[in-house]
Amino acid sequence: TSYNVAILGATGAVGTRMIEQLETSSIPVKTVKFLASKRSVGKVLRFKGQDVKVEEATPEVFRGVDLVLSSAGGSVSKKLLPAAVKAGAVCVDNTSAFRMDPNVPLVIPEVNRAALAQHQGIIANPNCSTIQMLVALAPIYRQYGLKQIVVSTYQAVSGAGQSAINELLQQTQQYLKQEPLTANILPTKNDIKHYPQAFNLLPQIDVFEDSGYTHEEWKMIHETKKILLADPDATQIKVTATCVRVPVVIGHGESVYFTVTDQTATTTQIRDLLAKSPGIVVQDDTRQQFYPQPLNAEGKRETFVGRLRPDLENTGAFNCWVVSDNLLKGAAWNTVQIAECLIEDHLL
Ligand code: A2P
């Protein structure tokens, strides 16, 4: 069998990667539909050497579609995916629209693939920062138990979409020409004030909650629990996060501090465990100055882990540095990988 696939948000930063990841995936594709807003109707994109015209995303357009890969924003998913499910499609959604819905599996294939079996038409892709952190930590959680995670992120602007990439590049040129920097998108489209990102750090990703945390930080805490605590032998886990946008185009970095339950776990054992775990590449040799960097992770599907070292003043506690391409493992690849798993597991 082969499948009729629709990509919702096909013209965006993630959508264009979804097209590439689908082209190089094991999914047998019968037809593709590339969907975006009215603004993009008439645009032509390529799929496996063929021209494909972009169509407007409407509830009617999903007739005959088997699989929807979606990344056009939460409100678009909320509006259109129920219609796609009604038309018989299975949707893998990269937005936050359905992530915390108890009827929607939130899946990282390396971590909780089994949850796919519970799907009722929609499967959610976790937040990009959550995905790369849990690819790295889930093997440690399973082998040694995790008591606490303290994470600080260094997030690339592409996580905020193509318009944020354009804004950083424009501000960089303005800065070099000693012109005033214009800011209209970052830190987040949905808030009132905007600040320059070029040559700057913005400790705000998404909007603030009453708790004083941003919604991005909230996602890292609660998505982690939804994904890990579904384990039959799950133990409680404490998570806290600080999310920072940095002037990098592609590739999120994360400084991750974690404490394990099994106090006998050593740095060498954890490094060996990570090296043989799926989706992880260990890049950790301080004598050779070898560690993960966003520029090297760009275009790769794996999550890169380095700088693994014990907390010298607390036993059972470690620091590490985790980098991944936020548009691939953090978004487009995880989505396409979920679709591959659905097919392999006879769930599509
Ligand atoms: P368009 O290019 O027509 O605006 P990004 O994350 O890079 O900002 O991309 C967002 C994606 O979501 C784009 O493909 C964009 O299409 C699409 N999109 C935005 N708003 C809508 C909408 N109301 N209906 C359908 N697609 C939308």
Name the CATH code of domain 130-326 (choices 3.30.360.10, 1.10.20.140, 1.10.3720.10, 3.40.50.720): 3.30.360.10
Regarding the beta carbon of 94 and ligand 1, being less than 6 Å apart is answered no
CA of 111 to the centre of ligand 1 (A): 29
* Residue 148: pLDDT over 90: yes
The structure tokens listed for 120 are: 């009722």
Contact 55, 41 (CB under 8 A): yes
pLDDT tens-digit readout, 85-137: 999 999 999 999 999 999 999 999 999 999 999 999 999 999 999 999 999 99
pLDDT at 232: 66
Between strands 280-282 and 303-310, the pairing is parallel
Q: Rounded distance, CA 36 to CA 265, Å?
A: 49
| Average pLDDT of the segment spanning 7-26 | 98
* Residue 59: pLDDT over 80: yes
- Do you know the residue count of the chain? 348
Contact 282, 305 (CB under 8 A): yes
Give the residue whose CA is nearest to atom 8 of ligand 1: 161
- Domain ranges in the chain with CATH number 3.30.360.10: 130-326
Q: Which of 44, 45, 69, 76 to mutate to test the pocket of ligand 1 (most atoms within 8 A of CB)?
A: 76
- Domain ranges in the chain with CATH number 3.40.50.720: 3-126+331-344
Give the residue whose CA is nearest to atom 6 of ligand 1: 161
| Average pLDDT of the segment spanning 289-301 | 98
Q: Determine the atom of ligand 1 nearest the C-alpha atom of 13.
A: 7
- pLDDT band at 233, cuts 50/70/90? low
Give the residue whose CA is nearest to atom 22 of ligand 1: 37
Q: Rounded distance, CA 150 to CA 139, Å?
A: 17
pLDDT tens-digit readout, 158-169: 999 999 999 999
Alpha-helical (H) ranges within the chain are 13-23, 74-86, 109-112, 128-144, 162-176, 215-228, 267-275, 294-297, 333-344
Q: Which of 37, 190, 327 to mutate to test the pocket of ligand 1 (most atoms within 8 A of CB)?
A: 37
Q: Rounded distance, CA 35 to CA 39, Å?
A: 11
Q: Would you tell me how many other CB atoms lie within 10 Å of the CB of residue 315?
A: 12
Q: Determine the atom of ligand 1 nearest the C-alpha atom of 165.
A: 7
222 is known as an active-site residue: no
What 8-state DSSP symbol labels residue 331?
Answer: I
CA of 332 to the centre of ligand 1 (A): 15
- pLDDT band at 320, cuts 50/70/90? very high
| Average pLDDT of the segment spanning 146-171 | 98
* Residue 231: pLDDT over 80: no
Between strands 3-8 and 29-36, the pairing is parallel
* Residue 309: pLDDT over 90: yes
CA of 9 to the centre of ligand 1 (A): 5
Regarding the beta carbon of 11 and ligand 1, being less than 6 Å apart is answered yes
Q: Determine the atom of ligand 1 nearest the C-alpha atom of 75.
A: 23
128 is known as an active-site residue: yes
Answer yes or no: is the ipTM higher than 0.95: yes
Select which of 91, 119, 128, 320 is catalytic: 128
The structure tokens listed for 101 are: 């819905």
pLDDT tens-digit readout, 178-230: 999 999 999 999 899 999 999 999 999 999 999 999 999 999 999 999 999 87
| Average pLDDT of the segment spanning 141-170 | 97
pLDDT at 340: 98
* Residue 269: pLDDT over 90: yes
Select which of 91, 119, 243, 252 is catalytic: 252
pLDDT at 124: 98
* Residue 234: pLDDT over 80: no
The architecture CATH gives domain 3-126+331-344: 3-Layer(aba) Sandwich (3.40)
